[in-house]
Amino acid sequence: MTAKSRKPSSAVSPRGRGARDSVRPTPGGPVLDLDRYVPGLLTLIASNLSGRASSAYLALYAVGIETWRVMVMLAIEERVTAQRMVQLLDADKGAISRTFKAMHRDGLLSFEEDGDAAGRRARHAVFTPAGRALHDRIIRFACLREQVALSVLGDDEVQVLRDLLRRVYRNLDEVERASQAFIREERQALGMAPDAPALRRRGSNAARAAAAATLASTTGPQSTSKPRSRGRTHAV
């Protein structure tokens, strides 16, 4: 069977919708049902909560959401290196470095240097009294927003929700393993060599042209029109 004739492998079921289905059939083909698609719902909630909180933090305390996230982890860890903060937040090293420098400039943290028996030195960030006091003010607002967001749930439901979210989080390694298996099969279906460089939909015109040509050869002509915004598509 050639790459052109192979049907796409996907999680979309042709059968009736079940409890786990997040796809809605339409005359034009399957579409995501954004009232059921869990990654979209999680993103929508998280982006709404964090985005509006960031505006409030900036207005009240001159602290953005990225700085607040660093403050949260610094309060938990008490003292932390930049590299450790990168791991904790799964963040860009440069962004963490800039946040540390800004917080140090603003008197919110200081640095302590120490070394080990091998002579390796490490610089740990710690709160200044002013930084800790600011954290303790902002945490009140963060918890208020959480409490109001969860006020539509009962106490037992809140505990179940937290447990479910932790279980999904612990399962993310399985998501990546399944994704890699899908990618290998999809690359084969698209006629891409196993060691071929990844197509990049962003970047140079040449990269975009190569991606479009590959997709057109396997799936037919691609529309050049921009998708119509439906208000929640940012959540996927």
For the cut 90, the answer to whether the pLDDT of residue 117 exceeds it is no
For the chain, percent of residues with pLDDT exceeding 90: 59
Q: Which residues pair with 80 in a beta bridge?
A: 125
For the cut 60, the answer to whether the pLDDT of residue 206 exceeds it is no
Extract the runs of DSSP E, i.e. beta strands, from the chain. 23-26, 29-32, 79-80, 109-115, 121-127
State both tokens at 126. 């710690």
pLDDT at site 163: 97
For the cut 70, the answer to whether the pLDDT of residue 233 exceeds it is no
∠100-81-103 over CA atoms, to 5°?
Answer: 15
Amino acid identity for residue 173 in this structure:
D
- The mean per-residue pLDDT over the stretch 221-232 comes to 42
18-45 residue pLDDT tens: 778 889 999 999 999 999 999 999 999 9
For the cut 90, the answer to whether the pLDDT of residue 209 exceeds it is no
Q: What is the four-CA torsion angle of 63, 64, 67, 72, rounded to 10 degrees?
A: 90
∠177-5-178 over CA atoms, to 5°?
Answer: 5
- Relative to beta strand 23-26, strand 79-80 is unpaired
- Average pLDDT score, the chain: 82
149-202 residue pLDDT tens: 999 999 999 999 999 999 999 999 999 999 999 999 999 898 888 888 877 754
For the cut 60, the answer to whether the pLDDT of residue 129 exceeds it is yes
* CA distance linking residue 217 with residue 36, whole number of Å: 32
Q: Residue 104: enclosing H or E segment and its boundaries?
A: helix 93-105
52-91 residue pLDDT tens: 999 999 999 999 999 999 999 999 999 999 999 999 998 8
